[in-house]
Structure 1
Amino acid sequence: MLKLSILDQSPVSSGFTHSEALQQTIALAQLADRLGYTRFWVSEHHNSAGLAGSSPEVFLSTLAARTNRIRLGSGGVLLPHYSAYKVAENFRMLEALYPGRIDLGIGRAPGGTPHTAKALRGVGADLFEGLERFPAQVTDLLRFLTDSVEPGHVFEGIRATPLVASMPQVWLLGSTGQSGVYASQAGAAFCFAHFINGAGGQHAVRSYRSSFQPSALNVVPQATVCIYVLCAETTAEAEELATSIDLRILQMEKGEFTGVKSPKEAAEYTYSDWDQTRVRDNRSRMIVGSPSLVREQILLLAESYGVDEVMIVAGGYLAETRMRTVELLAEAFELSHQHSYVI
């Protein structure tokens, strides 16, 4: 059976606050936990009016305390901004508190503007130098997580605390093949962000599998794909609600990082010819429709990627719309029959 998981970016819809968006994410995680989803990830974005999640490692502690069995993770920690050692300690702490439930997803995107990146790293920091250091940072992070700092290394004798018997599952996230290369070299799991880049993901995952190097993290490659999904009782209803996602993606492409607009606001928006072309093209990053149609499209997507798990970004203006997508998919894939857990 195909496994389903969720990435939630804590979107801030127009007319709502950041605090309300975070509470909506908590409610969505609790629902996913009850319905049998495999994992629930939260993202990291900075200086964004439209996305409330800036600190996944802090948020995960709250989510873990309010759920029972679902795996929880970062989608993902933007490693170039931080010390690999501190990231290892943060996630060892989460693993110590909630053993067997923590995923450490890492990415190399800035998660904001270059100006914001300077605020995160320090005024004199070089953004491009941080990206170039990413492979070395990944290696250091894995050294700390697996207690495998070599004798004579500059970090010899340093261990990430707390000292725990288990470790979080490590994922590398990306929307290009390069992230898959890093994941295969590290022996980490790989998640392709189809919701960011609707082309080339299948090739990236195939390349990741073919060049995968077994490690202390994974003996065999593990991959998943993440895509926008909006599901409603009918395809016509889903299409109307999906206009909010269409406009949000378009506005992000144009550098307009405002909140999610309502379907009414989307209908009133003035679209240029270029805008309309982008909206049509961006549908490759989304699956929209009735439960039967969405189920069919998700299965085809999984088959094309060769994966046994698909992660969704539930889209829509209202939290109720996103929660209904999650409910309808759980019914369509009979997720409750795949898991046994205590509520």
Structure 2
Amino acid sequence: MVTLSVFDQSALVSGMTPYEAMRNTLALAEAADRLGYARFWVSEHHDTDGLAGSAPEIVMAAVLARTRRIRVGSAAVLLQHYSPYKIAEQFRVLEAMFPGRVDLGIGRSSGGKPPSAAALQYGAGSDASFERRLLDLAGFLRDDLPADHPYAGVRARPSIPTVPEIWLLGSGTQSAELASQLGASFAYAHFFKGIPGHDAIRNYRDRFRPGPLGDKPRTAVCTVVICAETDEEAERLAAPVDLRMLLIDKGEFARPYLTPEEADAYPYSEEDRERIRANRTRMIVGGPDKVRRDIERFCREYGADELIVLTMLHDFDARLRSYELLAETMGINV
């Protein structure tokens, strides 16, 4: 059976307030917990009008408090902007409050446009490489910094016997390579560009060795899934997602998620339609039977342990129903 998890970006739809987006995130987390999904990951984006999730560690605390068994994680903390010591303490606090349920996903992207990335780094005072930051983070989490490290005597608190699972996230081979070298779990963001990551996953598994970030290989792939009662209804719901991906390709990041009516009214060129067809490689769309077949094939081709599902829809009830149908057709209900 395919292991399924949820990725949520606290998306803003036309006319929606950030308060409503966050409320939807919490409601979706409670549903995912009830339906049997393995994980619920939340994003970190900055200065992006269509997404409300800018502080995953805060959202995670709220989600963990509202759920009972599902693992909750970041997708992903953008480590290059922050102190590894501070991240270690934040996630130790989460692990102390909710032991055995916390995932620390780490990403390499800027998380927004160049000015917001510069603002995040303002005053950080460190030019350490990404790999150095990862090693320092692991050292602070596990209390095993090298003796010659300048902060070897500093301890992240609270002092607890367990640590979060550490995942590296990426949409190429670089993060997969680093994950295999340092022992981290690896999640491939297929939804981000639609570029197949089969080589990245295969190379990760072939080259994996235990290290400071973990001791066994674990892989997941994230893609967009839209499931409805029928194939036709799923296609109608997917139209705004097609349009949003198109607009992002054109550099238009500011718009919130649109409605099917707004998507129908957009003046598509033939070039736009070609781009939409290409972007469909990033999505699985259909009724329950079609979605089940496509997911089974997708996971088989990737050889992934887990599928992380991103469902981006204008209507929250339709989004929730998509996850319900998916849990039912894939047989994950607990």
Bin of the TM-score, shorter chain as denominator length = over 0.9
How far 1:219 moved relative to its partner? 2.6
Q: Which residue of 2 aligns with 1:228?
A: 224
SS at match of 2:177: helix
Q: Which residue of 1 aligns with 2:87?
A: 87
Aligned to 1:135: 131
How many corresponding residue pairs? 333
Report if the CA contact (8 A) 2:166-2:214 is conserved. Answer: no
Q: How far does residue 110 in structure 1 lie from its aligned partner after superposition? A: 0.5
CA distance in 2, matches of 1:212, 1:308: 15
In the alignment, the residues of structure 2 paired with residue 63 and residue 123 of structure 1 have an alpha-carbon distance, to the nearest angstrom, of 30
Q: Percent identity?
A: 49
Q: How far 1:220 sits from its partner (Å)?
A: 2.1
Q: Give the distance between the partners of 2:159 and 2:109, measured in 1 at CA.
A: 30
Of 186, 210, 214, 1:214 maps to: 210
1:155 maps to which residue? 151
CA distance in 1 between counterparts of 2:25 and 2:124 reads: 35
Letter in 1 for 2:154: I
Pair 1:300-2:297 in alignment = yes
Local SS of the residue matching 1:322: helix
SS of residue paired to 2:224: strand
Q: How does 1:184-333 map to 2 (within 5 A)?
A: 184-215=180-211, 217-257=213-253, 258-333=255-330
Query: How many Å apart are 1:124 and its aligned residue?
Result: 9.5
Please give the TM-score of this superposition, normalised by the length of structure 2.
0.97
Question: Match of 1:323, as an amino acid?
Answer: L
Separation in 2, partners of 1:189, 1:29: 22
Q: Which runs of 5+ in 2 are unaligned?
A: none
Q: What CA distance in whole angstroms lies between the structure 2 residues aligned with 1:116 and 1:197?
A: 22
- CA drift of 1:119 comes to 1.2
- Which runs of no fewer than 5 residues in structure 1 stay unpaired? none
Instruction: Give the match's secondary structure for 2:324.
Output: helix
Cα distance, 1:95–1:268 mapped onto 2, change above 3 Å? same
Give, in angstroms, the shift of residue 216 of structure 1.
5.0
Query: Hey, what's the Cα distance between the residues in 1 that align with 2:301 and 2:241?
Result: 24
TM-score under structure 1 length normalisation: 0.94
Q: Deviations over 1:217-248 (max 9, x none)?
A: 43321000000010000000000110011011
Partner of 1:23 in structure 2? 23
Q: Supply the distance in 2 between the matched residues of 1:34 and 1:297 (Cα, whole angstroms).
A: 24
Q: Judge conservation of contact 2:218–2:305 (CA < 8 Å) in 1.
A: no
Alpha-carbon separation, structure 1, partners of 2:211 and 2:47: 36
Task: Give yes or no for contact 1:118–1:124 (8 Å, CA) kept in 2.
Answer: no
2:13 aligned residue: 13
Instruction: Report SS of the residue matched to 1:196.
Output: helix
Is the aligned partner of 1:53 residue 2:53?
yes
Q: Bigger CA drift: 222-231 or 317-326?
A: 317-326
Q: 1: distance between equivalents of 2:42 and 2:71?
A: 11
Q: How does 1:96-107 map to 2 (within 5 A)?
A: 96-107=96-107
